[in-house]
Amino acid sequence: MKILYISLIFLGTVFARKETLVLLDNSAIKETHSVFFKSLADQGHGLTFKIADDAGLVLSKYGDYLYDNLIIFAPGVEEFGGSIGVDTITKFVDDGGNILVAANHETTDTIRELATEFGFEIDEEGTSVIDHHSFDSNDKGHHTLIAVEPKNLIEAPMIVGSRHVHPLLYDGTGLVVDSENPLVLEVLTGDSTSYSYKPGTYVTETPLAIGRKTVLIAGLQARNNARVVFSGSLDFFSDKFFGSPVNPHGGKKYNSSGNKAVSDAISRWVFKEEGVLRVGKINHHKAGEQHPPSAYTISEDVVYSIEIEKLEGDKWVPFNANDVQLEFVRIDPFVRTSLVKGPGSSFVAHFKIPDIYGVFQFKMEYAKVGYTFLKNVTQVSVRPLQHTQYERFITAAYPYYFSAFSMMAGVLVFSFAFTHLKDTKSKSD
């Protein structure tokens, strides 16, 4: 019995493990970033390390992907090996895979091309993010080792964690994002005094990134909920930056940076260990009933409920929120109302169907930064009143009723009078 119990635990661990392919420029990166990789292993990732130009690289076999996630810590790769390329990685994301990519000052065109596929643009080779006001005192003179305040992180605890105090160390190139792309996230940005340019040279043209538009770490959540994170600094995830003290120029000194806490939070988010939602049971019916009808009638009271759950560890738990909405749509929304948290994981809405018939949809869409997108559509028919359902006597129509009956009475009196007078005249003659 004990052996069986241990076997079940082992099988559960194996099946719960997430397979992650790690592509490196060289094997030394595995050692210089050992703390980050150990953290991933502790989270249940099965890490497979490969050199980025290895001729035997494959992402899938016989139509099935071998990995759930992809990490590319190879900013210097000229061309991916094996069957992997920019198109292959893009398709991997299109099919639901997640990727984490780190660049640096010497980022090649291959990584730069990959970034453009997801709405990011990495500055040209040899450039660095420079900040002459927010640099670390350990900087070597060009002010490329910058200390970034936690306030520059995106306001999304699901992505970067919460309650950060220690500044972040950053030494790398700058990114810009497509501001018209609603799926792109500016995870970490530079200060208003930062810019991306070649260190030690005069600025003779407008830098690619200036001020707050200098993005240090960018993210994207695709419409299929696949997640992508690009960092302009490979050192951001290094053991050196994790344990290094931070001494901002003219500011307070800290014994350690906040890099480890932020990188752990980002890795959990990009690999779908945080902010994952799903829709459960859905029900709708007339008020006072339990089951959905074949069709609704105009102006009826309706109750709609939907279950939403959140992934925590390896368990699904009820999701708590007060900003989930429901729309009752026929081309355009006729009703928009909030879903109120009910018992367990349910959200409930009560409303009256509008006095318009046709084919409608119960539409629930939830898109909050840091969480997976939710969309559920249920189609129903709304019919007009049957002839037996109309009200027989309407108060507003009383004047018309009176006029009709008065006309009838008048005709009756006229007919009686006309007939009576005619008979009287005939007798007199």
320 and 408 belong to one structural domain: no
Domain membership of residue 390 (yes or no) is no
What domain range includes position 348?
277-383
* Contact of 171 with 145, CB cutoff 8 Å: yes
Side-chain-facing half-sphere of 231: CA atoms under 13 Å = 24
211 and 324 belong to one structural domain: no
Domain membership of residue 389 (yes or no) is no
**Domain ends where: 270, 292, 317?**
270
Measured CA to CA, the distance from residue 64 to residue 201 in angstroms comes to 49
- pLDDT at residue 395 in the model: 79
User: In this structure, what CATH number is given to the domain that contains residue 305?
Assistant: 2.60.40.1930
* Contact of 347 with 330, CB cutoff 8 Å: no
Domain membership of residue 228 (yes or no) is yes
224 and 92 belong to one structural domain: yes
169 and 301 belong to one structural domain: no
Number of residues assigned to the chain? 429
299 and 209 belong to one structural domain: no
285 and 402 belong to one structural domain: no
Domain membership of residue 252 (yes or no) is yes
219 and 73 belong to one structural domain: yes
- pLDDT at residue 7 in the model: 40
**Domain ends where: 270, 286, 317?**
270
**Domain ends where: 242, 270, 298?**
270
* Contact of 269 with 158, CB cutoff 8 Å: yes
Split into its structural domains, the chain has a count of 3
239 and 172 belong to one structural domain: yes
- pLDDT at residue 428 in the model: 54
116 and 49 belong to one structural domain: yes
Measured CA to CA, the distance from residue 43 to residue 69 in angstroms comes to 13
How do strand 146-148 and strand 168-170 relate by DSSP bridges?
Answer: antiparallel
The secondary structure of 343-378 as a DSSP string is STTEEEEEEEPPS--EEEEEEEEE--TTS--EEEEE
Which DSSP category does 313 fall into?
A: T
Per-residue pLDDT of the chain (429 residues; tens, 9 = 90+): 444 343 433 334 334 578 999 999 999 999 999 999 999 999 889 999 999 999 999 999 988 999 999 999 999 999 999 999 999 999 999 999 999 999 999 899 999 999 999 999 999 988 999 998 988 888 888 899 999 999 999 999 999 998 888 999 999 999 999 888 889 999 999 999 999 999 988 888 888 889 899 999 999 999 999 999 999 999 999 999 999 999 888 778 999 999 999 999 999 999 999 999 999 999 999 998 888 898 988 888 999 999 999 999 889 999 998 899 999 999 898 999 999 998 989 999 999 999 999 999 999 999 999 999 999 999 999 998 887 766 777 778 788 888 988 999 988 888 888 787 765 555 555
Tokens 């538009």 belong to residue = 213
Residue 124 Cα to chain centre, angstroms: 30
Q: What share of the chain is helix, strand, coil (3-state, %, to 5)?
A: 25, 35, 40
260 and 281 belong to one structural domain: no
231 and 172 belong to one structural domain: yes
pLDDT in tens, 58-72: 999 988 999 999 999
Domain membership of residue 429 (yes or no) is no
**Mean pLDDT (the chain, rounded):** 88
Measured CA to CA, the distance from residue 188 to residue 218 in angstroms comes to 7
Domain membership of residue 205 (yes or no) is yes
Domain membership of residue 388 (yes or no) is no
User: In this structure, what CATH number is given to the domain that contains residue 91?
Assistant: 3.40.50.880
- For 203, the enclosing helix (H) or strand (E) is none
313 and 369 belong to one structural domain: yes
